[in-house]
Structures are given as C-alpha cells and as structure tokens.
Amino acid sequence: MDLTRKVAIVTGASKGIGRATVEALLERGAAVAGWARTAPEGLTHDRFQFFECDVQDEHSITEAFTNTQRELGPEIHVLVNNAGLGIMGDIDGFKVDDWKTMFDTNVLGTFLCTRAVLPQMKKQQLGHIINVASLAGTAGTAGMAGYCATKFAVRGFSDALFKEVRPAGIRVTCVMPGSVETNFNGNEPGAEPDPYKMTPESVAEAIVHAIEAPDTTMISEIQLRPAQVK
C-alpha cells in the first residue's frame, strides 16, 4: 500500500514502538491518529492528531473512532494495534486484577479496536490491520505465563482474522518482536542503548515494510529478534 494521503490509527502512540510507528508513517506521507491515554510529548505535525483513548473501554474507543473520522475523514486504511502491557510474576502469587488488566489491554483492546474499523475497511474493500504481539506469543517463559497467554491470544486472533477478512481485501499482519529497548540505559543523557535489544524504530520499520508490501502480497507474520546475543 502506498501510504501517501492514507489514514492510519496507532494505539499506544505515546511512547516506544507506538510513537516510533507514528513517526515512520508520517515520514511515508500518511495522516495519523494517535490513540493513547496520554499524548506523545513534543510530537507535532500537520498530519498528526492525538485522541485520548483507553483501549480497555469500548465507549472510549467508539469516541476516539468517531473523532478520528471527523478530523481525518471517513476512510481508515491502517490500524496498528500496539497498545499493551506486561506484568510479570509467578502464577501462585499473581493478582487477579493484574491478570484482568493485561487481558483487557492486550487482548480485549485489540478486539475492540479491530471491530471498530472493520465495517469501514470492508466498505472500502481495502485496509491493513497490524497486531503487535511478541515472541512471548510463540513460546512460554517461566514467570511470564500471563503475558505469554495474552500474546498467544493475539497471535491466534490474528491468524483467524486474516482468514476471515481476506476476501474483503483486508490484510492482517502479526508482528512479534523479541527484546526491545524502549529507554536508554542509565539516567544520563546520551547513554548508549543496549546492543542486545532492538530499537522501537527498527520494529516500526518492519511494520511499515508489511504495510507497503505489493498489493498482491500479504505478510501474515513477522518475527523479530536482536541481531546479537549475550
């Protein structure tokens, strides 16, 4: 898809992979709606609009979607379901509220945002949905059972969804990064990033690569790993 003058929604847009994806899409000429609970600090662009949104809340998503269409137009070409969180801990001491928070954000939020955009994408017979999962959705890890369960769910949802919406001209890609460096090491400005982790920008470039694939091609899954290991 040529992203020039296309409209993209990115959830979890305030920092990390979400913000990097917003910036990468803007560089390609897209108009971008950033959905998050807080606005990305210092990000201003004439093709960027921020809409406060809690992806755990259906009403909040409906309001953000209505506002996006009002400000950027009715057509929605790309949805990047990036909003997510991880709470680690052993199962025998895991809090039920933390379990629900992860599932409501990582899984329910992905479903609700996807459901919001699908009618318009089907009307257009065009669209691309990117679901950001994790390599934790491919193999379990001790102390991360809850997080792994949510990412396995996102991967399964993505696999079923692409088969469901493919006939309508909608592409679905599940992006599964490994370790990503979302902050510099240490507190001093200019500290070097961890060489054993990927940057948010590198994940954003993979997302854009999938979107810009030729119209005859759908990249259904992308697994990303740091190039170096300890």
Per domain, the residue ranges of the chain are 7-184+204-224
Q: What is the average per-residue pLDDT within 151-178?
A: 97
What does the mean pLDDT of the chain come to? 93
- Mark whether 147 is an active-site residue: yes
* C-alpha span between 151 and 65 (Å, rounded): 24
Reading the block at residue 123, the tokens are 């009307």
Q: What is the average per-residue pLDDT within 49-69?
A: 98
Asked whether the beta carbons of 49 and 33 are under 8 A apart, the reply is yes
CATH architecture of 7-184+204-224: 3-Layer(aba) Sandwich (3.40)
Asked whether the beta carbons of 87 and 102 are under 8 A apart, the reply is yes
Q: In this model, does residue 163 exceed pLDDT 90? A: yes
CA dihedral (60, 65, 66, 72) positive or negative:
positive
| Banded pLDDT at 186 (limits 50, 70, 90) | very low
Per-residue pLDDT at 191: 52
* C-alpha span between 115 and 131 (Å, rounded): 13
Per-residue pLDDT at 81: 98
Model confidence, pTM: 0.93
State pLDDT tens for residues 95-129.
999 999 999 999 999 999 999 999 999 999 999 99
Q: What is the average per-residue pLDDT within 167-185?
A: 84
Q: What is the average per-residue pLDDT within 190-213?
A: 87
Q: In this model, does residue 192 exceed pLDDT 80? A: no
Q: Which residues pair with 130 in a beta bridge?
A: 80, 173
Asked whether the beta carbons of 4 and 30 are under 8 A apart, the reply is yes
User: Which of 50, 51, 65, 147 does the annotation list as catalytic?
Assistant: 147
Q: Are strands 48-52 and 78-81 parallel, antiparallel or unpaired?
A: unpaired
**164: Cα separation from own chain's centroid:** 20
